[in-house]
Structure 1
Amino acid sequence: METHLADFIKDTPEGQEAEAILRKCVHCGFCTATCPTYQLLGDELDGPRGRIYQIKQVLEGAPVTASTQKHLDQCLTCRNCESTCPSGVEYGKLVDIGRKIVDEQVPRPLTQQLVRTALKEVLPRRWLFGPAMKMGQMVRPLLPKVLQNKVPAPQSAGAWPTQAHARKVILLEGCVQPSMMPNINSATARVLNALNIETLVVKNTGCCGALRFHMNDQDGGRADMRRNIDAWWPLVERGEIEAIVMNASGCGVTVREYAHFLQHDAAYAAKAEKISVLTRDISEVVFAHLHILKQKVQHKGEQAAAFHPPCTLQHGQKIRGITEQILQACGFKLAAIPDSHLCCGSAGAYSVLNPEIAYQLRDNKLNNIEQGLQACTGSGCSGANILSANIGCLTHLQSGTERPVNHWIEAIDRLLES
C-alpha cells in the first residue's frame, strides 16, 4: 500500500514501523472473513482492512474524529487477521501505534476517562485489586448481574509443592489471577512438580504490562515490563532458571514481545530480548514432557471436554493444537467446536468497555461450544467442562453458562491428584 507519512510521524521509530507494516498490506480483504467485529457489525470500518485504511489516513495527517476512535476502540486486537493475512501484515503492532495517536488528538468524554483510569490504576496493582475482589466476593449476591459476571466465587488455591528440583522455572503470577482464580497458579506448580520441575515465584513482579499498554498508557505498560525484568534478571543472569512460564496466554503473548516493546530502550533492550527468548507458554513445557505426564496420569475412563483456544494463544503466540494433544493424551475426548478461531469477546478490558459486542461474541462462542458438545457421543458428554488457557476468557465464558469453566492445567492437576 503506497503511504506518505505526515511530518509529525515520518522520521520517528513508530512512523518507520507503521510505514513498513502498511506497505505489506495489499487490501485483499481476506482478513475481513475472520474478523469477529466485522462479522457482527458488517461495517468495513469495523474490519481490519477498514481500520488499516483509517490508521493510514491518520498517519498521513488527515483530520482525526471521534468516529475513527470508536472504530479502533471496537477492535478486539484478537489478531485473527494476522493468522489469515497472506502478506504477513502485523496488524496488532499497527493498531497500537494508531490508537495512541488518535487518543492524543481526540479527547475522550469524562465518563470514558474515569472508567479507563480506574481500570488502568486498579487492575494491574494486586494490592488494590485483591482487597477489592475480596469485598466484591463477600457481597456478590447483592451485586448487579454485570458486576457479578466479573466477580467469581472465592476459590481455594490448594497446596503449593515444596519439593526441590534441579530444574527450575519462573512463573508469572499475574495481576488479577491470584485474586480471581488462585488455583490456576498452584495447579501449574503441582503439574510441573510432577514433571520434576520446580516453580519459582519472584517478588516484586505483577502485571505483564499488557493492560496499560493496550489502553494507550504505553509508558505505564513499559514501566510494568521493566519492573518484571528487574525482578527476574538476577535469576536469569546467574543461569538458575531454564524458562519463564506463562499460564495466562494474554500475559504470554505480551512477555514474548518484550523485545519489541523495549527495542528502543538502551538500558533494557538486550535484557528484554533475553526475557522474550526464555518465555514459554505452560502448554509448551508440558508438551515437551508428555511422556512423563502420561505415565503419572491415572485414567478414569474417557472424559469429554470443550477446549476454547484463546486468541492470544492461537493468533498472538501462534501456538495451535499443542494443548489439545496434551488433553487427548491424558484421556480427554475433545468436542469439535465450530469457528474455534473466533474470539470469545473477553479481550482484556474490552468486555468492560464494549459490553454489547463482547457479550454477543460470548454467546456465539458458547452456542458453538454447545453444538460441539451435543454432537459428542459417549459417557461424560452431558457433564463436560469447558477448558481454556487465559483468565479473561475463563471469567467471560463462565458468566454465560452453568457449565464449569476451568483452566486446562487445573484439569490435568485433578487427574494427577486422583
Structure 2
Amino acid sequence: MQTHLAPEFQDTPEGQTAEAILRRCVHCGFCTATCPTYQLLGDELDGPRGRIYLIKQVLEGAQPTRATQQHLDRCLTCRNCESTCPSGVQYGQLVEIGRQVVDAKVERPRQERLRRWLLKEGLTSSLFKPALRLGQAFRPFVPAALRDKVPARPPARAHLWPQHSHPRKVLMLLGCVQPAMHPNINAATARVLDAAGIQTLVADEAGCCGALRAHLGDHHGGLDDARRNIDAWWPMVDGHNQPVEAIVMNASGCGVQVKDYGRLLAHDPAYAERAAKVSAMTRDLCELLPPMAATLGRRLRPGAKRPRLAYHPPCTLQHGQQIRGGVEGMMRELGFEISVAPMDSHLCCGSAGTYSVLQPTLSKQLRDRKLQALAPLAADVIVSSNVGCIQHLQAGCETPVRHWIEVLDDALMP
C-alpha cells in the first residue's frame, strides 16, 4: 500500500513502524472474512481493511473524527486478521498506533473519559478486591450492567498454596483482576506445577501486565507497568544462585503482553535488554506443561470420572501468541475428552479485556454466538485459558466455565 506520511509522523518511531506495516497490505480483503465485528455489522470500516485505510488517512494528514475513533474502538484487537493475512500485516501494532494518534486529536465525551479512567485505575487498584467482595455480598442489588462481571465466591481451596521446595523453579504473574475474581486459577496452577516437580515463585511487587492500560489508550502507563514487572522479576530472572527457568502465564491476555515487552521497550536503553530477556523466558502454561504429562498422569486419581470438556481457545493464545492445540493435546494425553467448536473456534467470544464493558451490545452478540457454537458439544464443563473469557462466557450460560488447569488440578491426587 503506497503511503506518504505527514511531516509530523515521518521521523517518529511510531510513524516509521506504521509505514512499514501499511506497505505490506495488498488490499486483498481476506481479513474481513474472519473479523468478528465485520461479520456482525457488515461495514467495511468495521473490518481490518477499512480500519487500515482510516489509520493511513490520519497518518497522511487527514483530520480524524469522532466516527474514526468509534470505528477503531469497535475493534476487539483479537488479531484473527493477522492469522488470516497472507502478507503478514501486523495489524495489532498498527491499530495500537492508530488509536494513540486519533485519541490525541479527538476528545472523547466526558462520561466516556470517566468510564475508561475508572476501568484503568479501578481494575488495577488494591481496592478492587474489597470492592468485588462487597459486590459478591450484595450481588442482587448490583446494577444489571455490572452484575455479569461479579463472579461467584471462590472455593475454599482457592488459597491453598503448595509448600514444597523443588530444584526446578518458575515465576508466575498473579495478574491484576485474576487474584480477586478467580484466585483458584493461580492456586491450581501452583498445585499442578508442584505435582510436576516445579516450585512456583511470585514477586510481590509485580502487578498488572500493562495490557489493560495500553488498550485503554494509556500507552505510557502500560510501559510503566512493564518496567515495574521487569524490576520485580529481575533478581530471580538474573539471579546467580538459582535463577528461574521460565516466567509462566496462566492468563493468555497477560502472556501475549509480556511476550511483547521486548518490542515495546526496544527504544528504552535502560530496559531494552532486560525486556527482551523477560519476553524470551515467558511461557504460557500449555507450553510449559506438556513435557511433564507422563509425570502428571501418574498423579491422576485412579478410577475417577472425568468431565467431558468443551474448549474455547482465547484469541490472545491462538492469534496473539500463535499457540494452537497445546491445551487440547495435553488434556487428551491425560485421558480427558475435550472438543472445540468445529466452525467457530477461531472467533472471539467478545470479552477482549474491557471491551465487554465499553461495547456491551457487540460483546454479548459475540458471546451468544460462541455459546451457540459450543452447545452441540454437550460438555459438562467449558474450559478456556484466559480469565476474561471465562467470566464473560460464564455470565451467559449455566454450564460451568473454568480454566483448564483447575479441571486438571481437581483430577490429581492430593
Q: TM-score, normalised by structure 2?
A: 0.97
- Secondary structure of the residue aligned to 2:289 is helix
Q: Give secondary structure in 1 for the equivalent of 2:308.
A: strand
Residue 367 of structure 2 corresponds to residue 388 of structure 1:
no
Residue equivalent to 2:144: 145
In 2: Cα distance, 1:138 partner to 1:155 partner: 13
3-state secondary structure, aligned to 2:331: helix
Partner of residue 244, structure 1 = 247
Structure 1 residues without counterparts, runs of 5 or longer: 374-380
Report SS of the residue matched to 2:194: helix
- Residue in 2 that maps onto 1:407: 403
- Give secondary structure in 1 for the equivalent of 2:76: coil
- What secondary structure is seen at the aligned counterpart in 2 of 1:296? coil
Equivalent position SS for 1:24: coil
Asked if the contact 1:345/1:358 (under 8 Å) is kept, the reply is yes
Alignment pair present for 1:135 and 2:139: no
Paired residue type of 1:406: R
TM-score (normalised: structure 1): 0.96
Asked whether the equivalents of residues 328 and 339 of structure 2 are also in contact (C-alpha less than 8 Å), the reply is no
CA offset digits 1:383-409 (Å, max 9, x no partner): x10000101000000000001000000
Q: Aligned match of 2:279 in 276, 280, 284?
A: 276
Give the partner amino acid of 1:188.
Answer: T
- Does residue 266 of structure 1 match 2:269? yes
Where do 5+ consecutive residues of structure 2 fail to align? none
Number of the residue aligned with 1:123 = 123
Asked if 2 retains the 8 angstrom alpha-carbon contact of 1:301 and 1:331, the reply is no
Structure 2 Cα separation of the partners of residues 324 and 295 of structure 1: 19
Contact 2:312 2:340 in 1 (8 A): no
> How many angstroms apart in 2 are the aligned matches of 1:335 and 1:12?
47
Identity between Structure 1 and Structure 2 (%): 59
- Partner SS state of residue 332, structure 1: coil
Provide the residue aligned with 2:217 in structure 1: 216
Residues 303, 331 of structure 1: 8 Å contact kept: no
The AA in structure 2 aligned to 1:159 is: L
Aligned to 1:88: 88
Kept after mapping to 1: 8 A contact 2:293/2:334: no
Structure 1 residue aligned with 2:322:
318
1:367 paired residue number = 372
2:350 is the counterpart of 1:345 = yes
Q: Distance in 2 between matches of 1:336 and 1:116?
A: 34
Please identify, of 336-345 and 75-84, the stretch whose mean Cα deviation from structure 2 is larger: 336-345
Aligned to 1:289: 292
* Structure 1, 328-337 or 222-231: larger mean CA deviation: 328-337
Offset of residue 328 of structure 1: 1.1
Query: How far apart, in 2, do the equivalents of 1:356 and 1:214 lie?
Result: 19
> Structure 1 stretch 348-357 or stretch 293-302: which is displaced more?
293-302
Separation (CA, whole Å) in 1 of partners of 2:413 and 2:398: 25
Matched, 1:201 2:170: no
In structure 1, C-alpha distance between the alignment counterparts of 2:188 and 2:150, rounded to whole Å: 21
What displacement does 1:302 show?
5.3
SS of aligned partner of 1:55: helix
Asked if 1:355 corresponds to 2:353, the answer is no
Post-superposition offset of 1:260 = 0.8
Partner of 1:199, secondary structure, is strand
SS at match of 2:200: strand
List, as ranges, runs of 4+ consecutive aligned residues in structure 1 with deviation greater than 2 Å: 298-303
Q: Secondary structure at the match of 2:396?
A: coil
Counterpart secondary structure, 2:247: strand
Worse-superposed segment, 278-287 or 139-148:
139-148
> Following superposition of structure 1 onto structure 2, how do residues 26-65 of structure 1 map, counting pairs within 5 Å?
26-65=26-65
Counterpart contact for 1:46–1:71, Cα < 8 Å: yes
1:371 is displaced (CA, Å) by: 2.2
Shift of 1:32: 0.4
On the 8 A contact 2:299/2:413 being kept in 1, the answer is no
Q: Using the alignment, how far apart are the partners of 1:251 and 1:307 within structure 2?
A: 19
Per-residue deviation, 1:267: 0.3
Work out whether 1:253 is the aligned partner of 2:249. no
Structure 1 CA distance for aligned equivalents of residues 64 and 410 of structure 2: 52
**1:291 Cα deviation from its structure 2 partner:** 1.9
The AA in structure 2 aligned to 1:204 is E
**Helix, strand or coil at the partner of 2:367:** helix
Deviating more after overlay: 276-285 vs 296-305: 296-305
Question: What one-letter code is carried by the residue in structure 1 that aligns with 2:12?
Answer: T
Residue 397 of structure 1 aligns with which residue? 393
Q: 1:301 Cα shift?
A: 4.3
Provide Cα deviations, 1:277-331, integer angstroms capped at 9, x if missing partner.
Answer: 0000011111121121222223534531100000000000011001001111222
Mapped to 2, the partners of 1:361 and 1:254 lie a distance apart of: 23
| 1:4 paired residue number | 4
Q: Does the 8 Å CA contact 1:178/1:185 hold for their aligned counterparts?
A: yes
Residue 205 of structure 1 aligns to a residue in which SS?
coil
For each residue in 1:209-228, what CA deviation from the matched residue of structure 2 results, as whole angstroms up to 9, or x when unmatched? Answer: 00001111001010110000
RMSD between aligned residues? 1.1
State the one-letter code of the partner of 2:395: S
Number of corresponding residues = 408
CA distance in 1, matches of 2:377, 2:39: 21
